[in-house]
A and B are shown apart, each in its own frame.
Chain A
Amino acid sequence: MVGKERRTRAAILTVVGILIAVYVLFPFYLVVLNSFKVQADIVSSPISFKGASFSQFVSNLSSVVNNSNFNFWRALFSSVVITVISLALLALFGAMAGWVISRNNKTKWATAIYLIFIASMIIPFQVVMLPLVSTFRDAGNFVGIPMLSTIPGIIFAYCGFGGAMTVFILTGFIKGVPYDLEEAASIDGCSPEGTFFKIIFPLLAPVITTVTILNGMWIWNDYLLPSMLLGLNGKYKTLPVAVQSFVGSYVKQWDLILTAALLAIIPMIIIFLIGQKQIMNGMIEGAVKG
C-alpha cells in the first residue's frame, strides 16, 4: 500500500518535472525551429513546423554568417581568443599572487593586499566603466600601446577585473597545501620560483578548474565591458556585442535574428554537454566560497 502510494507520488513528481523542463527548454526549441523558416512563416505560425525546411536554414545561415554587422566567424574568433587568453593569464597570475599572499599571510603587506582584493569584489562595473575608458585612452597614448578597441586591451581589463575573485579562491586553497612540501624542496636546493612551478602549481589543478569555469562563464557572456572597451562598431566584436549590433540594424527580422541567436548559443551548449558536471560543480563552489 505504502509502496503504491510512493510510486504514484514519484510519477506525479516526474510529470511535474517534465512539464517544468518543457517550459524551460521551450524558448530554445523556438529558436531552433524558427531558424529553419522564412520571416512570413515565422510571423504567421511561430510554433508549428509549417514552412520549416533545411534549405531555408542554410539560406538563413549564410545570410547571417556573411552579414557585415554580425560577421560570425570573426566574432567567434575574437570571443575565443579573448576568453582563452584571459582565462590562462588569470589562472597563472592568480596562482602566483595567491601563493605569495598565502605564504606571507602573517605579514601586514600581504594581509593588506588580500583585504583590498576582497573589498574590491563589491565594486560594480558601472562605477568604473566610464573612467575606465578614459584611463585606457590616456594610458594607451602615454605608453604607446593602444588599449581601446584592441584585444590586448580587453584582456588586460579582464585580468584586472577577474583578479580579485581568482586570488580569493586560490589563496584559500593554497593555504591548505602543506608547507612541508615547499620546505623539503627548498632544502634540496630548489629555488622559490622552481618550487612554485614544479610543486605547487600542479597541485592546484582542481581549484584552477573552478576559477576557470567561473571566470569563463562571466567573460564569455559579458556584454557591458566589451561594448565599452571595444565599441559596438569597432574592429573587434565579441559574440554578445555582435548580436547586439546585428539586432540593432535588423529590427524585427526574426529569421535572421533567431539564426544569429542560435549561432551565438551553440558554442556554450557544446561546452556544457562536454563538461556538464564540472561546470555545475564549479558554479556551486564559486558561489559558496564567494
Chain B
Amino acid sequence: MNANTASRKLLSLICIIGGAALIIASLVLDVMGDGAPAYGFRGAMLVVGIVALLFGLYLFPTLKYHRRLIYIIFLFPLLFTFAVTVIIPLCLGIFYSFTDWTGIQYTQFVGFGNYISMFQDPQFIWSILITFVFVVINMILVNLIAFLLALLCTNGIKGDGFFRAAYFLPNLIGGIVLGYIWQFVFNNVLINLTKTSWLVQTPTAMTAIVVVYIWQYAGYIMLLYITGLTQVPKDVLEAAQIDGANARQTLFQVKIPMIASTFTICTFLTLTSAFKQFDVNLALTGGTGSVANFMGKYLTSGTQMLALNIYNTAVSKNNYALGQAKAVLFFIILACVSLIQVRISNAKEVEL
C-alpha cells in the first residue's frame, strides 16, 4: 500500500512537471517562431502537455483537494469550449462593431458610425420591416394551424400516430434542402396553376416563404399542443361533461385555459425561430425580389430578411464591421424578446 502511494506520487510529479514543460516549450516555440504557423508537433505537444498536467494533478494524493480538483477537471471541457466559441467572440464582436474591422484586422474606432450608416440604408430598414411582418404572420398562422392539427389528432381518429409522424416529418429536414425542394415545387409544379412563379414577385415570394415555413414548423408545434391537450386531467373533462358542457364550451372554457403555458411556450418558440429564419430564405429565394420604391430607392433584395442581410453584408459584400453591427442589433432585439417572455411566464406562474 505504502509503496503504491509512493510510486503514485512519483508518477504524479513526473506528469505535472513533464506536462508543464511541454506546455511552456510549445508556447515558447510559438513566440520564438518567425510567425509562420508550424502546425503539427507544436499543437500535439500542447495537447499532450495539458493532458499530462491534468492527469498528474488527478493522481496527486491529497484527499482534501481531490474533490475540488475533480470538479475543476469536470467543468473544464465545456467551460473552455464555451468561452472560446461563445464568450470571447461575443465580446470581440461587440467591440468590432465600433471599429472598421475587415474580418482580419481593424485600424481605427468609428464610434457609432456603423450603427448610423445601417439605418441610412433603405435595404436594411426594408429587411427589418419584412422580418417583423414575417414574424407576426407566422406566429399567428403557425400556432393556429398547429393547434387545429393537434385538435384533429386528439379527436380519436383512427391512425393518429401516422398523422402525427407525417405532419412532423418536414421538421426533420434542414432548411437548405427543403428550400430547394420547394423552389422546384413553385417554379416547375405550381407554375401550371399560377402562370408566373410565386418566387418572382416580392409579395408572392414572401408568401411562399411563409407557406414553406408553416409546412416545416407547424408539425412540431402541433406535437407540443398535443402534449398539452393530453395532459388536461380526465376528471376535469368529466366534470365539464357532467355539468352539461358541449364540445365547444369544453374547448374554449376548459381546455384552452388549462394549456395557457403551452401557448406561451409555442408562441415564443415560433417567434424566435421565425426571427432567426435563414436557411429557407437563402435556398428558396436567395433574398431576391424587386421593390420599386422604398424610401426613394429601388431595392433588388425584396425578400432578404434580417439574418440573410447580416450574412450578405459581411460575407458577400465583405463589409464585416457593418455586418457585425447589424448582428449586435439583431442580438439586442432577440434579448429583449426573451426578457419579455421570462416576464410573461413568471407573471403567469404567480397567477396560477
Q: Given the complex, which residues of A lie within 8 Å of B158, measured CB to CB?
A: 10, 14
Selected from A31, A89, A160, A196, the residue in CB contact (under 8 A) with B181 is A31
Check if A288 is an interface residue, CB within 8 A of chain B.
yes
Check if B175 is an interface residue, CB within 8 A of chain A.
yes
Check if B203 is an interface residue, CB within 8 A of chain A.
no
Tell me how far the C-beta of B43 lies from the nearest C-beta in chain A, rounded to whole angstroms.
4
Interface of A is mostly: helix
Does B166 contact A21, Cβ atoms closer than 8 Å? yes
Selected from A14, A124, A146, A288, the residue in CB contact (under 8 A) with B331 is A124
Does B314 contact A130, Cβ atoms closer than 8 Å? yes
Does A221 contact B86, Cβ atoms closer than 8 Å? no
Tell me how far the C-beta of A10 lies from the nearest C-beta in chain B, rounded to whole angstroms.
6
Closest to A229 in B: B85
Q: Given the complex, which residues of B lie within 8 Å of A10, measured CB to CB?
A: 155-158
Tell me how far the C-beta of A185 lies from the nearest C-beta in chain B, rounded to whole angstroms.
13
Does A265 contact B173, Cβ atoms closer than 8 Å? yes
Does A96 contact B74, Cβ atoms closer than 8 Å? yes
Does B93 contact A144, Cβ atoms closer than 8 Å? no
Interface centre among A25, A129, A144, A222 (most CB of B within 10 A): A144
- Encode contact with B along A109-120: 1 for CB under 8 Å, 0 otherwise: 000010001001
Check if B1 is an interface residue, CB within 8 A of chain A.
no
Does B169 contact A97, Cβ atoms closer than 8 Å? no
B interface residues, how many (CB within 8 angstroms): 97
Q: Given the complex, which residues of B lie within 8 Å of A43, measured CB to CB?
A: 188
Tell me how far the C-beta of B176 lies from the nearest C-beta in chain A, rounded to whole angstroms.
5
Q: Given the complex, which residues of B lie within 8 Å of A146, measured CB to CB?
A: 37, 39, 43
CB within 8 Å of A: which B1-59 residues: 26, 29-30, 37-47
- Please report the C-alpha to C-alpha distance between residue A131 and residue B83 in the assembled complex, in whole angstroms: 13
Selected from A31, A126, A160, the residue in CB contact (under 8 A) with B85 is A160
Residues of B that sit less than 8 Å from A by CB = 26, 29-30, 37-47, 66-67, 70-71, 74-75, 77-79, 81-90, 92-93, 96, 103-104, 149, 152-153, 155-160, 162-177, 180-182, 184-185, 188-189, 215, 219-220, 223-224, 227, 265, 269, 276, 278-279, 282-283, 307, 310-311, 314, 320, 323-324, 327-328, 330-331, 334-335, 338
Can you give 14 A-B contacts (C-beta < 8 A)?
Answer: A10-B157, A47-B189, A93-B78, A124-B330, A130-B314, A135-B88, A163-B82, A221-B173, A240-B177, A258-B184, A265-B173, A265-B177, A268-B173, A280-B168
Residues of A that sit less than 8 Å from B by CB = 10, 13-14, 16-17, 20-21, 24-25, 27-28, 30-31, 34, 42-43, 46-47, 89, 93-94, 96-97, 99-101, 104, 113, 117, 120, 122-135, 139-146, 156-157, 159-161, 163-164, 166-167, 191-193, 196, 217, 220-224, 239-240, 243-244, 247, 254, 257-258, 261, 264-265, 268-269, 272, 276, 279-280, 283-284, 287-288
